[in-house]
Amino acid sequence: MSASALSSTALPAASSSGFRLSKEHLVVAVPVAVISAIGGFLVSQYLNRRCCTKGLVNTSISKDSPKVVHSFDMEDIGSKAVYCRCWKSKKFPYCDGSHSKHNDETGDNVGPLIIKKKDT
């Protein structure tokens, strides 16, 4: 490249107020900055959502409630009751065996809570 061609493509000299940018530079810089900002925002939202939902145990049961609580009287249970602890049961709060699939998929070892009357 010749010296005259090089001098015509060089950046403008710095003025007392800082660097001067031409319209051509802004036409390129502004869209790149906007796309970078949007991309960064979307990536952070994806990572935040992935991180937070990964730790959730309850992904579908009574999500409109601030806290899921069930209470049972011992007299109403009968001789035996089996309750879900994996939060995957379609019959929640009762166990339907969904923990087996959950354990196979995740390597977890969760099982049901079994309450029964003491054998006499």
CB atoms within 10 A of CB 60: 10
Q: Go through 87-114 and write b for each residue having 16 or more CB atoms within 10 A of its CB, e for each that does not.
A: bbbeebbebeebbeebeeeeeeebebee
* Annotated catalytic residue 67: yes
pTM: 0.51
Q: Which CATH architecture is the domain 55-119 placed in?
A: 3-Layer(aba) Sandwich (3.40)
Could you give the CA distance from residue 117 to residue 115 in angstroms, rounded to a whole number?
Answer: 7
Question: So where are the chain's domains?
Answer: 22-51, 55-119
Q: What is the CA radius of gyration of the chain?
A: 31
Average per-residue pLDDT for the chain = 81
Tell me: the pLDDT tens digits for 76-103? 888 899 999 999 999 999 999 999 998 9
23, 54, 63, 67: the catalytic one is 67
